[in-house]
Amino acid sequence: MKLKLASSISSPQDLQALISEIRNYARWYGHNAIKLRLHAKTKRHGGQAEPELSPAAKEVLAGWGKHDELTRRELDSLINELERFARTAQEITITLAAPASNSIKQILVAWCRDNIAPDILVNFQFNATILGGLVVRYRSRIFDWSFRRQILEARGQFPEVLRHV
Amino acid sequence: MSGFYMQLFLYLNVFLMGALTAVAIRHAYAHFRPHVAEAEKHPVTMQNGHLPPAVREHLLEAAQANFQTVLDRSAKELSQDLEKTSAQINKLLEKHGTDVINDDLQHYRSRLAELQKQTEAGMSKLQAGLSTHQAELDAEFIAHQAEQKAKLAEEIAAEKQRLLQQIDTQLADAVGSFLLDTLQHNVDLGAQATYLTSMLDEHKADFTRGLADEAKTSK
């Protein structure tokens, strides 16, 4: 079984939320399985309703099970795999000039997973002073492709450009 | 030896001169005192005995007249000779003086010409030296002037470059500050989506290489 994350699960926070959601679902699933066995003996219905899962969680659960119905053991192994993934996954931070919308996040995460590593996690931050572009940080290395950096680097060319105006 | 002969010759001369002097004094004395001697030898009393007094008086007057005539003529001739001699002496003196003056003048002129030549030579040399020195000074002045001009031009160019650099720096700072202050408002990320991916694609090689290097160093 191979873990396949949706592009909406981009950051470690998203991954932790997914793990928590899966863990709740697994807990409910265990309780519900016990109740189902009891109801089968007593012919009575009842118990806690099935928790609402996010599309990303549904996608992960659909891609994880071997069969149509997941077992408690498969859910536990999925949680273990997600926790292991959270510990070992590569993580980068992208800083934008404004809070990133979901569409922007998905575009950038998809690019990173297609071109860098399929299991990479991306943190998003914003800083208005960079004006535009993006700043990528991976551990201690920073790639600054912001407008501010470009303006400061091209500052010496402004007089030359203004002379030709 | 020659000294001995010379002494002998001198002594002989002295002796001859003494003899000649004695003879000359005797003749002179005889010349200036003949009448006294004759008068003493032939007293008047003897003449008075041969000539009558009238003749003797007449002869005496005639002798006096002749003597006076001869004396006057001699005085006159002496005076004339003296005048001629004086004139000749004056003429000779004048000629001699003229010659001396001419010689001195000639000598003075030649000396003056020589001094003038020397002075002219010195002046020419001095003039040549002055010309050379003037040429050296002119060349040095021109070189110094050119050097000063070049130095001044270099300083002006450096100052101009410095001012231009300063203006460019201030202008760049102003434009940069203006852009930074202006662009940090109303940032639209939606319009930058394509730009962001294109920038990632553009720097993909550097980006992946940097990540790989960082991963290696972290391990």
Handedness of CA B211, B213, B215, B218 (dihedral sign): negative
Q: Is A134 helix (H, G, I), strand (E, B) or coil?
A: strand
Who wins on pLDDT, A3 or A25? A25
Q: B158 vs chain A: nearest CA distance in angstroms?
A: 19
Who wins on pLDDT, B187 or A150? A150
A-chain CB neighbours of B204 within 8 Å are 115
Whole-angstrom Cα distance, residue B136 to residue B141?
A: 8
User: Per-residue confidence of chain B (219 residues) as pLDDT tens digits?
Assistant: 567 888 888 988 899 999 999 999 988 888 887 655 555 555 555 555 577 888 889 988 999 999 999 999 999 999 999 999 899 999 999 998 889 999 989 999 999 999 999 999 999 999 999 999 999 999 999 999 999 999 999 999 999 999 988 888 888 888 878 777 777 666 666 677 888 888 889 888 888 888 888 777 766
Whole-angstrom Cα distance, residue B91 to residue A159?
A: 111
Torsion of CA A132, A136, A137, A141, to 10 degrees: -110
Q: Provide the token pair at B91.
A: 């003429």
Q: Rounded to a whole number, what is the distance in angstroms from the first to the last CA of chain A?
A: 63
- In which band, very low, low, confident or very high, does the pLDDT at A2 lie, cut at 50, 70 and 90? low
A135 touches chain B (CB under 8 A): no
A-chain CB neighbours of B168 within 8 Å are 156, 159
What was the pLDDT predicted at A155? Answer: 78
What was the pLDDT predicted at B137? Answer: 94
Q: A80 vs chain B: nearest CA distance in angstroms?
A: 24
Q: Is A143 helix (H, G, I), strand (E, B) or coil?
A: strand
The chain B residue lying nearest A99, using CA atoms, is B189
b/e for B45-77, b at 16 or more Cβ within 10 A? eeeeeeeeeeeeeeeeeeeeeeeeeeeeeeeee
A116 → closest Cβ in B167, B201, B211: B211
Q: B147 vs chain A: nearest CA distance in angstroms?
A: 33
B-chain CB neighbours of A145 within 8 Å are 199, 203
Long-range contacts of A150-156 (CB under 8 A, 24+ apart): A151/B176, A151/B179, A151/B180, A151/B183, A152/B176, A155/B172, A155/B173, A155/B175, A155/B176, A156/B168, A156/B172
B-chain CB neighbours of A104 within 8 Å are 189-190, 193, 196
What was the pLDDT predicted at A67? Answer: 58
Strand partners, A101: none
The chain B residue lying nearest A129, using CA atoms, is B184
Mean of all residue pLDDT scores within chain A: 82
Beta-carbon separation of A103 and B208 below 8 A:
no
Beta-carbon separation of B192 and A133 below 8 A:
yes
- In which band, very low, low, confident or very high, does the pLDDT at A1 lie, cut at 50, 70 and 90? low
A105: pLDDT strictly greater than 60: yes
What was the pLDDT predicted at A70? Answer: 74
Considering A1-5, A103-107, A136-140, B156-160, the range whose residues carry the highest mean pLDDT is B156-160
**Mean pLDDT of the region A34-50:** 66
Strand partners, A96: A126
Whole-angstrom Cα distance, residue A40 to residue A60?
A: 30
B-chain CB neighbours of A143 within 8 Å are 203, 206-207, 210
What was the pLDDT predicted at A123? Answer: 92
Q: Is B137 helix (H, G, I), strand (E, B) or coil?
A: helix
Residue A38 has phi, psi (to 5 degrees) of -65, -45
Which residue shows structure tokens 């009891």? A38
The reported pTM is: 0.51
What was the pLDDT predicted at A66? Answer: 62
Distance of CA A62 to the CA centre of its chain: 17
Q: A70 vs chain B: nearest CA distance in angstroms?
A: 36
